[in-house]
Chains A and B, each alone.
Chain A
């Protein structure tokens, strides 16, 4: 090595030039591996779930009879539960995330900006299982006593309101799960929305204020229209996260395979069903049905995230 040094000092470039193609190949391999992994997961899920999909066909998506003993599997319950709980979570979380983002951008004193930002990040850092335990032991009993029971007793007999609130008042239901989910996706949505509001050119906002607009008018008439498409993308990102959330939901959704017919009914999601049953699924068809559910979840999430990316990307390029 020492003997070779003078030579390399006089010709500094060749060694680097030789490494560059290797470096390029390594990066390409890394990128290809990612795509291959994605394709591999898709293919494995399809092969693994095929016995269930081919046996039950469309019934797998349109019936809710999930009977591991008889070997009959219809996934409508978990599929509906996944969509309902995620959309509800989104509805609860969106106004708050929006409020947090606007506050941080428009009103927040510089002194508070960091603490609030850190608090939002901490919320994102709490592990899912902790939310689940908190939901089961703290939030569910609280929710049952202070919200569920009063609402159920107040609902007039035979009304739509009563239909919407029938169930067992113990806090394990679709609504509780959605609220906990909403708390979990809040930090992501708040962070993305805040970033979006920061992309609004200062000239636009300042012109607004210069014309005598109130903050409310600037936010609703200038900032929001400017980031509209991306905001939908941010919402979809939140939805994508809610769809796949597993442990917290498993603890508090009540885990019934029926399609939930009221807010206080037990339900299940695709992720919770897989987490619950995969370990002890002894019959091949049971495993196949769970894998097929996994494929459905993969596809739903993929579509949602693809839409999110398309909308976010379009805005950034424009």
Chain B
């Protein structure tokens, strides 16, 4: 009996799933796990206000891109923006939804959060395995008076492919020619040194457990785990702490007008602004420009999210887009019909 009930339930779900692709009332999406919490939160509130139901599968950016190209979902979500050429090839429209900061964290005895300063080239040197000790002259030069321990640096990185890794490795590529030619940027890269933790929780755990280690996580994990973070040097040469305000400053420093012509293919790296945090990135949504019955419903959902969802985004430690970015994104939606 139980089995039959399950079978009926499965069949019903299937039927609804199939029907959902054709009729309004339900929209389906798949992709980025980084963005899953905020999309699900928005969906909850949107549904409560009489909007469509969202069925979002957090299967990773790669899966999101594959699914939208195969037209099995109404929208795909990815942390790694597609190029204009790729968008044209599959007749896709792309726009960012929220942004988030990536924060280097470390386990250094005797150093308080925010007491140590780092720059992009130094971070690249550490992750290349060339700067091996915390009292290295390069680090000491910008940290006068800080009691840097004579500890070997243990590099911790993500072992799973992730948007966080993409943002971080893109930043290192921007800051260091050697990183760019030797390693490059991607959701998974060939790390010259260090050990890999599974997920942000894995990276935080290894960093906590290893004296002298350095890792990188999304802002929310740095907050939750009370780990030592560094002040990073931004484009203006100021050393800034990772805060929601600093991420917002970076998001408003972006030349959104230029980005709009480029399929919004932006990473928020080293953006201008005295307060800007240099390492953050956006997460993106992909929809078909033509012939998708539910594309309008998808846009209506994100329109609602832009209007009403900033508070939710901040509560979940994302950073909402600035108003001018939202306006340009809404303009770009006229191409979807």
Segment with Cβ contacts to A, from B2-10, B56-64, B290-298: B56-64
**B-side contacts of A278, CB under 8 Å:** 60, 62, 161
A69 interface residue per 8 A CB criterion: yes
Cross-chain pairs A/B with CB under 8 angstroms, 16 sampled: A67-B189, A69-B169, A140-B209, A144-B209, A168-B195, A170-B154, A256-B191, A256-B196, A268-B159, A277-B188, A279-B33, A279-B161, A280-B187, A281-B62, A281-B188, A282-B62
A257 interface residue per 8 A CB criterion: yes
B80 interface residue per 8 A CB criterion: yes
**B-side contacts of A141, CB under 8 Å:** 209
* CA gap between A168 and B213 in the complex, in Å: 10
* CA gap between A203 and B58 in the complex, in Å: 61
**A-side contacts of B189, CB under 8 Å:** 67-69
Q: Among B60, B162, B196, point to the contact of A255 (Cβ < 8 A).
A: B196
Residues of B within 8 A of A (CB): 33, 59-63, 65, 80, 154, 159-163, 169, 183-191, 194-198, 202, 205-206, 209-210, 213
* CA gap between A68 and B169 in the complex, in Å: 13
Q: Name A267-286 residues within 8 Å CB distance of B.
A: 268, 272, 275-282, 286
**A-side contacts of B213, CB under 8 Å:** 170
**B-side contacts of A268, CB under 8 Å:** 159, 196
Minimum CB–CB distance for A252 against chain B, Å = 9
* CA gap between A136 and B187 in the complex, in Å: 23
Minimum CB–CB distance for A104 against chain B, Å = 36
Minimum CB–CB distance for A132 against chain B, Å = 8
**A-side contacts of B62, CB under 8 Å:** 278-282, 287
* CA gap between A278 and B202 in the complex, in Å: 18
Residue contact A168 to B210, C-beta cutoff 8 Å: yes
Q: 10 tightest CB-CB pairs across the interface, nearest first? A: A280-B161, A279-B60, A255-B159, A255-B196, A67-B190, A69-B184, A170-B210, A254-B195, A276-B160, A280-B187
Q: Among A66, A69, A136, point to the contact of B202 (Cβ < 8 A).
A: A136
* Residues 50-83 of chain A, each 1 if its beta carbon lies under 8 Å from chain B, else 0: 0000000000000001111110000000000000
* Residues 149-172 of chain A, each 1 if its beta carbon lies under 8 Å from chain B, else 0: 000000000000000000011111
Residue contact B206 to A170, C-beta cutoff 8 Å: yes
Residues of A within 8 A of B (CB): 65-70, 136-137, 140-141, 144, 168-172, 250-251, 254-257, 266, 268, 272, 275-282, 286-287
Residue contact B198 to A255, C-beta cutoff 8 Å: yes
Residue contact A250 to B198, C-beta cutoff 8 Å: yes
Q: Among B187, B190, B196, B198, point to the contact of A70 (Cβ < 8 A).
A: B190
A279-B63 CB under 8 A given contacts A170-B209, A254-B195, A255-B195: yes
A69-B186 CB under 8 A given contacts A276-B196, A276-B198: yes
Residue contact B154 to A168, C-beta cutoff 8 Å: yes
Residue contact B160 to A280, C-beta cutoff 8 Å: yes
Residue contact A171 to B196, C-beta cutoff 8 Å: no
* CA gap between A144 and B206 in the complex, in Å: 11
**A-side contacts of B63, CB under 8 Å:** 279
For B159, B161, B187, B213, the residue with the greatest tally of chain A CB atoms inside 10 Å of its CB is: B159
Minimum CB–CB distance for A16 against chain B, Å = 25
Minimum CB–CB distance for A280 against chain B, Å = 3
**A-side contacts of B33, CB under 8 Å:** 279
**B-side contacts of A170, CB under 8 Å:** 154, 195, 206, 209-210, 213
A266-B160 CB under 8 A given contacts A144-B209, A279-B62, A282-B80: no
Minimum CB–CB distance for B35 against chain A, Å = 13
Q: Closest A residue to B58 by CB, please name it.
A: A279
* CA gap between A68 and B33 in the complex, in Å: 20
A282-B61 CB under 8 A given contacts A69-B184, A251-B198: yes
Residue contact A69 to B190, C-beta cutoff 8 Å: yes
A280-B61 CB under 8 A given contacts A68-B188, A256-B191: yes
**B-side contacts of A256, CB under 8 Å:** 191, 194-196
**A-side contacts of B206, CB under 8 Å:** 170, 172
**B-side contacts of A286, CB under 8 Å:** 188
* CA gap between A201 and B210 in the complex, in Å: 55
**B-side contacts of A266, CB under 8 Å:** 195-196
Q: Closest B residue to A287 by CB, please name it.
A: B62
